[in-house]
């Protein structure tokens, strides 16, 4: 109807027929019709657009080349070291203006017995199409089926040792742009795995890559189950205390999810031995924290109304120790996987998937408390900081703005745990990869 009215209006205003006027009229009609045809697509929300994305369709925007590729070694070690290694590989491929061939991750956790590593395809953990849709124009993943195999790959050997400086590494990459290597369809980077590559990229670029990582539906379903169990436990605790769990929103709706605190509790024997040595070398006393110290620090957080459930993200070796859920202050009801009744969800998963589930449970908590020398905790806080930045909040100092994060190993000005946001201006990922006690609320 709108199109007919606009055409009628044009007809009434038409002047005596002339070739130029006719051409102009045809152009206007074409624009009106095209708008009517295309507007339904632009009404689709962003999540639906991700489902429409076809990684093999040609890009309309300039950016990463689709006919040139980078191949990297299997990505190994813990979940968050693997995420960092993957992001570093993506950013290296971006620097070379190439697509990254989808790498293998490692489902198991072995540091030295490489032959025991269980490779797992990236798209068995993270959604391939959603990654490319969310990171479109920034980086691009490709499947091996896109390679034509017309030539052997160019092997780019990563250097090692003290003489292989950050500057030498960057120079090597720059020489691979427009040089002999650029003639090859695939550049295969050989040598040490990506986590150990020199770092050239700012924190905000890593954050963008991590934000593109979306779990596949099968794993996301398990995450939702665990969070639902936590919130149900919180609801029971409030009911037993005679506190109604529903709360009214500003828009009048009710039944908000019951909030919870997630604590990444590093108190395993091997960690305590490691961090005590670390404290001696660095002459610092803000790395290790005992269970009692963690409980004391967490109890001083006033962001949430009590009683509140405290979910303890702990290593499997601690699940047989019932004492980790005891000794908490009144109004803080501690749960771990076993007490929560979700061990069956975790037991059927390999190490990598278990860690991915716990990461999301911590990342989506109303309050998160972790150790600033843990890569896991650092990446959880980075994820939460990125979300706060997207909401226009660049500081959490002195107020409860939601998505609060704390470092229990660093004392804040009020004697409690230090409020914690990632410094998004950092020029590399050094502090997040290896830890720091220099954390703040902005």
| Residue 156 falls inside a structural domain | yes
Q: How confident is the model over 132-156, as pLDDT tens digits?
A: 999 999 999 999 999 997 779 999 9
172 and 226 belong to one structural domain: no
**What CATH number is attached to the domain comprising 348?**
3.40.50
| Residue 360 falls inside a structural domain | yes
Burial status of residue 150 (CB atoms within 10 A of its CB: 0-12, 13-18, 19 or more): exposed
> What pLDDT, on a 0 to 100 scale, did the predictor assign at position 296?
95
Q: What residues contact residue 406 under an 8 Å CB cut-off, 6+ apart?
A: 297, 298, 301, 367, 368, 369, 370, 412, 416, 417, 418, 419, 420
221 and 349 belong to one structural domain: yes
261 and 381 belong to one structural domain: yes
127 and 157 belong to one structural domain: yes
> What pLDDT, on a 0 to 100 scale, did the predictor assign at position 243?
84
| Residue 329 falls inside a structural domain | yes
Burial status of residue 48 (CB atoms within 10 A of its CB: 0-12, 13-18, 19 or more): exposed
| Residue 348 falls inside a structural domain | yes
DSSP 215: B
Flag residues of the chain having pLDDT under 50. 1-23, 25, 28-29, 31-61, 248-249, 251-254
DSSP 372: T
Angle at which helices 375-390 and 79-95 pack, to 10 degrees? 60
116 and 142 belong to one structural domain: yes
Tally of structural domains, the chain: 2
273 and 350 belong to one structural domain: yes
Please state the separation of Cα 163 from the chain's center in Å. 33
Q: Which of 201, 213, 222, 206 is nearest to 122 (CA)?
A: 213
180 and 281 belong to one structural domain: no
> What pLDDT, on a 0 to 100 scale, did the predictor assign at position 42?
36
The Cα–Cα gap between 282 and 273 comes to: 15
Strand pairing of 260-264 and 332-335?
Answer: unpaired
329 and 189 belong to one structural domain: no
- Residue 151 domain boundaries: 69-200
> What pLDDT, on a 0 to 100 scale, did the predictor assign at position 125?
97
178 and 273 belong to one structural domain: no
| Residue 144 falls inside a structural domain | yes
| Residue 10 falls inside a structural domain | no
310 and 418 belong to one structural domain: yes
> What pLDDT, on a 0 to 100 scale, did the predictor assign at position 285?
85
Could you give the strand order of the β-sheet that contains 69-71, starting from the edge strand earlier in sequence?
141-142, 99-101, 69-71, 186-190, 154-157
334 and 380 belong to one structural domain: yes
Q: Using an 8 Å Cβ cutoff, are 344 and 285 in contact?
A: no
| Residue 53 falls inside a structural domain | no
The Cα–Cα gap between 366 and 325 comes to: 20
| Residue 38 falls inside a structural domain | no
**97-116: string of b/e by CB count within 10 Å (b at 16+)?**
ebbbbbbbbbbebeeeeeee
174 and 234 belong to one structural domain: no
């Amino acid at each position: 109807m709108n199109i007919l009215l606009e055409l009628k209006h044009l007809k009434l205003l038409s002047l005596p027929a002339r070739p130029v006027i006719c051409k102009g009229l045809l152009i206007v009609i074409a624009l009106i019709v095209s708008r009517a045809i295309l507007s339904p697509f632009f009404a689709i929300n962003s999540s639906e657009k991700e489902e429409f994305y076809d990684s093999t369709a040609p890009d309309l925007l300039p950016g990463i080349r689709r006919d040139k590729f980078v191949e990297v070694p299997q990505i190994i070690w813990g979940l968050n070291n693997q995420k960092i290694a993957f992001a570093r590989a993506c950013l290296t491929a971006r620097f070379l203006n190439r697509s990254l061939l989808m790498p293998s991750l490692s489902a198991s956790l072995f540091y030295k017995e490489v032959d025991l590593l269980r490779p797992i395809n990236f798209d068995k953990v993270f959604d391939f199409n959603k990654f490319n849709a969310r990171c479109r124009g920034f980086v691009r993943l490709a499947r091996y089926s896109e390679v034509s195999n017309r030539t052997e790959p160019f092997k780019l050997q990563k250097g090692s040792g003290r003489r292989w400086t950050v500057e030498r590494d960057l120079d090597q990459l720059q020489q691979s742009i427009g040089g002999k290597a650029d003639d090859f369809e695939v550049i295969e980077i050989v040598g040490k795995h990506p986590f150990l590559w020199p770092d050239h990229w700012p924190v905000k670029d890593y954050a963008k890559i991590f934000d593109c990582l979306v779990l596949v539906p099968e794993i996301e379903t398990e995450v939702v189950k665990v969070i639902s169990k936590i919130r149900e436990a919180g609801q029971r605790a409030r009911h037993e205390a005679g506190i109604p769990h529903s709360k009214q929103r500003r828009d009048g709706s009710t039944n908000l999810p019951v909030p919870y605190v997630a604590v990444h509790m590093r108190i395993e024997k091997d960690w305590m031995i490691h961090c005590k040595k670390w404290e001696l070398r660095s002459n610092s006393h803000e790395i290790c924290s005992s269970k009692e110290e963690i409980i004391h620090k967490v109890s001083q957080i006033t962001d949430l109304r009590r009683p509140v459930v405290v979910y303890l993200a702990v290593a499997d070796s601690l699940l047989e120790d019932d004492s980790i859920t005891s000794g908490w202050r009144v109004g803080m009801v501690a749960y771990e996987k076993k007490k929560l009744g979700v061990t069956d969800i975790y037991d059927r998963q390999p190490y990598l998937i278990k860690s991915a589930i716990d990461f999301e449970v911590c990342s989506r908590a109303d309050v998160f408390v972790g150790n600033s020398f843990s890569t896991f905790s650092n990446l959880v806080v980075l994820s939460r900081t990125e979300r706060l930045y997207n909401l226009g909040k660049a500081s959490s100092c002195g107020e409860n703005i939601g998505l609060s994060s704390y470092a229990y190993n660093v004392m804040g000005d009020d004697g409690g745990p230090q409020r914690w946001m990632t410094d998004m201006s950092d020029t590399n990922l050094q502090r997040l990869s290896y830890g720091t006690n220099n954390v703040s609320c902005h």
